[in-house]
Amino acid sequence: MNYVSLYSGCGGADIGFHSKGFNNIGSFDINNSSLEVLKKNLKVPVNKIDLSKSIDIRDYVKSGTVHAVFSGAPCQGFSTAGNRVYSDPRNNLLVRGGELALNLNTEVFISENVMGSLSGRLKEYWNNLNKLFISAGYTTQFINVNCLDIGMAQMRKRVLFFAWKDSSKSIKWPEKQNPRNLSDVLNGVEVAPNNVGYQIDSDDEKVKIAKRIGQAQKLSNVRGGKRAVATWQIPEVFGEVNNDEESILVSLRNLRRRNRLREFGDADPVDLEVLINEHGKGVVCHLENLIQKGYVRYKELNRYDLTRTFNGKYRRLSMAEPCITVDTRFGNPIYFLHPEENRGFTVREAARIQGFPDDFIFNGSLVEMYRMIGNAVPPPLSKIVADIVKNQLLINE
């Protein structure tokens, strides 16, 4: 059985179809580094082509019947990690993948993307894709997946769209599995290939911050509780504060979310009178000191707010828990910290969490390799998809 991979990246989806005995008759992507990694590992035909352009894909796929097309269109315009702009031109590639698949007269089509693509107006892209295949006589189905439920050590939520010609066939998704923990997938990684990452000097500010962050904690000024460490709790990096100043900072953290001024966002600057009621008139002097120290900023109309209002940099993951979503920044300690060492994750550690086998070798700069891994379809997910296509939707082919 033949398959085509659109927006293939380094081949996360291809691994699944390859493992189930499918014959690759064309993988397409615009990124040459990703295609080189895919070609080197799976020995498949690759095509560096901008699929947003007007092309006849049949000029590149000439090997008979196309049984399946997998489309992993870019997610950046849909992702909650980005700006989620409806008009982002990359969003059109979701429907473009379907158009190309229909040009190939495929028996089965699969598209994968982030869950954020189902929200609000963004869902229109999926609706248009669905209409495209229904009008062509296909049966369609959406399936929402959390990779924890397929036995991975990563919370990665994705939506899958299936379209197939034979209306007598149906999809039965496999039963839920227990997730794995980071300790399960990182065991022995120190001797695996590609176990490289960003080097940080021991006297680097990042290391000083990391030393203060425990497992399952993060650097955050805007959340309290045991899982959050505030910048004022790391004086060796951010500067000393006295007890009165710390009390005011904690009040600001609480009040900015409690006393809302707007109907959007999750926090607002705090009025000076509210702070005076909490701490007395002496709060004015303390606020001036905290502004000088870089912990507080003055807003208009006698309102004050915290600085560094990000929620969750330097997230240190836990060996005893599954991982949050692996993204393209996974090697950067500013965003993610190894559970036991004061660094980010190595290329191979990120790849293992994504489900890549150790014999799948990455090449390129560190930035390129982390981008390939973070953008990839997890191979364990693509194996399930390929198995469904082969043994449920194409069973009599």
Which positions are catalytic?
A: 75
CB 365 within 8 A of CB 60: no
Question: In angstroms, what CA-CA distances link 304 with 179, 220, 221, 274, 307?
Answer: 44, 18, 14, 10, 10
Gap between the Cα atoms of 89 and 105, Å rounded? 25
3-class secondary structure, 70: strand
Q: Which residue is associated with the tokens 């996360």? A: 12
| Dist. CA 155–CA 147, nearest whole Å | 6
User: How many CA within 13 A on the CB side of residue 392?
Assistant: 15
Residues 127 and 95: their CA atoms lie apart, in Å, by 9
Q: How many CB atoms lie within 10 A of CB 14?
A: 28
Rounded CA-CA distance 397/395 in Å is 6
Kind of pairing, strands 218-220 and 311-313?
antiparallel
Residue 320 burial by Cβ neighbours in a 10 Å radius (0-12, 13-18, 19+): exposed
Please name the residues in contact with 304: beta carbons below 8 A apart, sequence gap of 6 or more.
252, 269, 270, 272, 275, 287, 296, 297, 298
SS3 state at 195: coil
What values do phi and psi take at 237, rounded to 5?
A: -110, -45
Token pair recorded at residue 18? 């390859």
